[in-house]
């Protein structure tokens, strides 16, 4: 699969590139199918992208976008660690996104029940294959993506669309999309910035295929495309 890698000079340029890519994907989907079904990443990287999108209420018909999540912490939706709360504050509230457009993972529920409910939600809203127009992901310094963490991959049920994944480093469960859904998407984007990600990014992109060590290597869309948006700190030019 050809690798579509874009290296931006700094964090601000990376956020603008991610926001622009979102709109570039959304506009034709809305035009041709009347909607854009997208799963968003959590963590901190999306905050800057979301702020740029939130400042563009006229860029697309936001009422046509349905928002899903790539993963969620097992906390209530108003908890400081909640990916839903972060996204509500930086994107949904500024754009007046209706609750009916938002399909959040219920981090407040018992993890396995919440995962099963999201698995069923994905089938109901997207069909058995759960094909999303786009999945936006981040990557951690350890090479994880969504909540697919090193050393946990063997426990991921490949037949499920969403699972509760126990993450030893946190001593807690996380809710996450599985590679089944991620790799069924029409467009997958991984956005990663910062020097702390340089080593894992090099290993993910150019190292041996070791997905249990570097779960971001699991991202390989079956028929969709994969775009990497990184900054120069995470992907320094070869000397």
Task: Supply the minimum distance, in Å, between the C-beta of residue 158 and ligand 6PG.
Answer: 19
70 vs 111, which CB is nearer to ligand 6PG?
70
Task: Supply the minimum distance, in Å, between the C-beta of residue 84 and ligand 6PG.
Answer: 10
For the purposes of burial, counting CB atoms within 10 Å of the CB of 186, is it exposed (0-12), middle (13-18) or buried (19 or more)? middle
CA-to-CA distance for 107 and 199, rounded, in angstroms?
31
140 vs 150, which CB is nearer to ligand 6PG?
140
88 vs 144, which CB is nearer to ligand 6PG?
144
Task: Supply the minimum distance, in Å, between the C-beta of residue 59 and ligand 6PG.
Answer: 23
Task: Supply the minimum distance, in Å, between the C-beta of residue 98 and ligand 6PG.
Answer: 23
Taking only Cα atoms into account, the Rg of the chain, rounded to an integer number of angstroms, comes to 17
Where do contacts with ligand 6PG occur on this chain (CB under 6 A)? Answer: 41-45, 70-71, 83, 138-140, 144-146
CA-to-CA distance for 99 and 3, rounded, in angstroms?
36
85 vs 144, which CB is nearer to ligand 6PG?
144
CA-to-CA distance for 114 and 45, rounded, in angstroms?
25
Task: Supply the minimum distance, in Å, between the C-beta of residue 230 and ligand 6PG.
Answer: 12
83 vs 121, which CB is nearer to ligand 6PG?
83
Task: Supply the minimum distance, in Å, between the C-beta of residue 58 and ligand 6PG.
Answer: 27
Residue nearest to ligand 6PG (CB): 138
Among 52, 220, 227, 48, smallest CA distance to 136 is for 227
CA-to-CA distance for 164 and 156, rounded, in angstroms?
9
81 vs 110, which CB is nearer to ligand 6PG?
81
DSSP, res 236: P
Q: Which residues pair with 73 in a beta bridge?
A: 174
Q: Catalogue the E-assigned strands of 74-150.
A: 134-138
Among 166, 113, 130, smallest CA distance to 39 is for 130
Structure tokens at 172: 């807690």
């Amino acid at each position: 699969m050809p690798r579509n890698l874009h290296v931006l000079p700094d964090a601000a340029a990376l956020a603008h590139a991610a926001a622009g890519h979102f709109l570039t994907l959304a506009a034709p989907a809305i035009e041709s199918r009347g909607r854009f079904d997208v799963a968003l990443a959590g963590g901190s990287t999306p905050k800057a992208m979301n702020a740029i999108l939130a400042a563009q209420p006229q860029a697309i018909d936001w009422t046509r976008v349905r928002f899903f999540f790539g993963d969620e912490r097992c906390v209530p939706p108003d908890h400081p660690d909640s990916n839903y709360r972060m996204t509500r504050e930086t994107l949904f509230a500024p754009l007046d996104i209706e609750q009916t457009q938002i399909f959040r993972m219920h981090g407040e529920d018992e993890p396995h029940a919440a995962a099963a409910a999201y698995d069923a939600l994905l089938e109901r809203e997207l069909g058995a294959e759960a094909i999303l127009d786009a999945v936006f992901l981040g990557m951690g310094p350890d090479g994880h993506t969504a909540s697919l963490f090193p050393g946990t991959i063997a426990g991921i049920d490949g037949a499920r669309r969403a699972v509760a994944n126990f993450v030893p480093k946190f001593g807690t469960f996380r809710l996450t999309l599985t590679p089944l859904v991620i790799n069924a998407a029409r467009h997958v984007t991984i956005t990663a910035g910062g020097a702390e990600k340089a080593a894992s990014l090099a290993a993910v992109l150019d190292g041996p295929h070791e997905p249990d060590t570097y779960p971001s290597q699991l991202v390989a869309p079956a028929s969709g495309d994969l775009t990497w948006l990184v900054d120069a700190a995470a992907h320094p030019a070869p000397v």
